Amino acid sequence: MLKKRPVLAGAVALAMGLTFLSGCGGDTVPTGDNGDTSGSTGSTTTMANAVSEIPGVAKTYQLAAKVNGTAVKTMVLQEPSFDEQSGGSLGLSGPFFLTGSGTIPEGLSSTICQAFQGGNEKEILSSMMDDTEITREEFFRRVGDTWLEEAGWSAQDSVPQLLAVCVDGDNDGVEDIACEIFSEGSAGFSSFHFFKGMGEGTYSHTHVFDSILEEFGFLSYEEKHYLCRTNFDYDTKLIDGVDIFLYTDGVLADAIGIRNQIVEYQKETVWLEDQTPAPQLEDLMGGIRFDQLPAELSRQEWKPIGTAERRMGEEQIFCADLDADGREEQYSKEMQYSSNLRTVMAGVVLSQDGSISVLDSIRQTIEESAGGDPGIFYTFWADKNGEDTVIFCYYARGFDYTLYLLL
């Protein structure tokens, strides 16, 4: 079902639960949010110990520490040029044309940026909404069906789910109709249609663009209306801002994207209550720039590799004696990227020789320490610390992350 009010519903928290797999896993639908900007830099606290054992595992890892990274965000503008373009930066697909016959005021984009920075974007945008939702029956009664064939449908009954609103969308004093039509595929493809009011209750289908299913609404600002659509990252399903569009004479005149941009992470190191922070461990924790992991993992060819691991030739297979039994385990590290609205980007570790039960033990240890919900697993690596092996596991939660350190 298409959603419209409020304009922002928070993060889309639909995830596939992919962690350490020696066989296959199941789908889960955890809840989450967009993250916040609270936290402290460089602080250290303690936590209770957690340990799990699995029969047949030579070594049992204990959770020694974790690093909580809280994203500090700012808002940036993305401005397209006034020509035919792919529109990828604004979440659109297919070429579209901006006439340049009007511009989105700086005051509007500034108001929205400040709302995001203040964490009250839902309230501010909802208070600015100024359109009226109409039923499917009322929509077709007004716009008719002469436009259907050109749009790719044979009859009214063949049109999938839709959500329509009445509003003076192009600010000419005559009421228009805007409508988002969901194509009913798991990928979330949709199309957004504008019907210009021609007076005397008639409408003309003047504009359409293809997109991914989003929430939308028309905002009122200084006696003009602007289309506002949420924008989310398709891989993570996190809402990272909105797109604002201005219509004039029934077509798009201007568009701008307003996006979250992570400036830095505030990091808090949490050690076990019976552990003394060891300088060499903290050195290991800085060996891989884990602040950059979300960006790095978006590049499919990149895989983190620790000092206790080695790669088998040119293959994407890793080897390490993870359970200290004198025999190397063989495994692959993969990122599975989202291909539909029901999944998010997540990591998966696949055994190549059926011998990574130690990783199941590690996963259980982390889940227990996190109360059963550590977030979404991205990746892990193993480092040497003298004669010992240290395991690092990286989990994402919204825009934030937790890096678990196990000895």
Is residue 269 situated within a structural domain? yes
Average pLDDT rounded to a whole number, residues 95-103: 68
Residue 69 identity:
G
321-350 pLDDT tens trace: 888 888 888 888 888 888 888 888 888 888
Average pLDDT rounded to a whole number, residues 210-230: 92
What tokens were used for 254? Answer: 């201007």
Is residue 348 situated within a structural domain? yes
Please tell me whether residues 91 and 147 are part of one structural domain. yes
Is residue 48 situated within a structural domain? yes
Measured between alpha carbons, how far is 212 from 6 in angstroms, rounded to an integer?
Answer: 18
Residue 185 identity:
G
Please tell me whether residues 26 and 89 are part of one structural domain. no
User: For the chain, what percent of residues have pLDDT higher than 70?
Assistant: 73
Q: How far apart are the first and last CA of the chain?
A: 47
Please tell me whether residues 156 and 279 are part of one structural domain. no
Reported confidence tier of residue 213, pLDDT bands at 50, 70, 90: confident
Please tell me whether residues 102 and 251 are part of one structural domain. yes
Please tell me whether residues 81 and 219 are part of one structural domain. yes
Residue 146 class from Cβ within 10 Å (0-12 exposed, 13-18 middle, 19+ buried)?
exposed
Judge if the upstream peptide bond of residue 374 is cis by omega within 30 degrees of 0: no
Q: Report pTM.
A: 0.78
Q: Is the dihedral of CA 298, 300, 302, 308 positive or negative?
A: positive
Reported confidence tier of residue 288, pLDDT bands at 50, 70, 90: low
Q: Is the pLDDT reported for residue 37 higher than 50?
A: no
Cite the DSSP H helix spans in 52-176: 106-118, 121-128, 136-143, 148-151
Please tell me whether residues 178 and 289 are part of one structural domain. no
pLDDT given at position 16: 27
pLDDT given at position 329: 86
Is residue 1 situated within a structural domain? no
pLDDT given at position 15: 30
Largest CA distance in the chain: 84
Average pLDDT rounded to a whole number, residues 358-374: 84
Structural domain ending residue among the three candidates 217, 232, 261: 261
Please tell me whether residues 58 and 174 are part of one structural domain. no
Among 71-85, 247-261, 266-280, which stretch is predicted with the lowest mean pLDDT? Answer: 71-85
Is residue 2 situated within a structural domain? no
Reported confidence tier of residue 39, pLDDT bands at 50, 70, 90: very low
Which domain covers residue 28, as residue numbers?
20-71+265-406
Please tell me whether residues 59 and 157 are part of one structural domain. no
Measured between alpha carbons, how far is 117 from 282 in angstroms, rounded to an integer?
Answer: 32
What tokens were used for 2? Answer: 């298409």
pLDDT given at position 240: 84
pLDDT given at position 286: 59
Structural domain ending residue among the three candidates 211, 241, 261: 261
Q: Is the pLDDT reported for residue 94 higher than 60?
A: no
pLDDT given at position 300: 62
Across 76-85, 192-201, 234-243, which has the greatest mean pLDDT? 192-201
pLDDT given at position 271: 85
Please tell me whether residues 95 and 239 are part of one structural domain. yes
Is residue 157 situated within a structural domain? yes
Please tell me whether residues 244 and 126 are part of one structural domain. yes
44-89 pLDDT tens trace: 333 333 333 333 445 678 888 888 889 888 898 876 543 344 444 4
Measured between alpha carbons, how far is 266 from 285 in angstroms, rounded to an integer?
Answer: 15
Average pLDDT over all residues of the chain: 77
Pairing of strands 388-397, 189-199: unpaired
Q: What is the total count of domains within the chain?
A: 2
Q: Decide which of 170 and 53 is more confident.
A: 170
Is residue 11 situated within a structural domain? no
Return the closest-CA partner of residue 9 out of 114, 116, 122: 122
Average pLDDT rounded to a whole number, residues 203-224: 92
CB 341 within 8 A of CB 186: yes
Q: Is the pLDDT reported for residue 6 higher than 90?
A: no
Q: Print burial letters for 269-287: b (CB count within 10 Å at least 16), e (below 16).
A: bbbbeebeeeeebeebbee
DSSP one-letter string for 22-76: SS-------------S---SSEEEEE---B---TT-S---BEEEEEEEEEEEEEE
Q: Is the dihedral of CA 360, 301, 67, 280 positive or negative?
A: positive
Reported confidence tier of residue 5, pLDDT bands at 50, 70, 90: very low
Please tell me whether residues 241 and 98 are part of one structural domain. yes
Please tell me whether residues 103 and 126 are part of one structural domain. yes
Is residue 315 situated within a structural domain? yes
Structural domain ending residue among the three candidates 261, 290, 324: 261
What tokens were used for 183? Answer: 């194509």
CB 236 within 8 A of CB 397: no
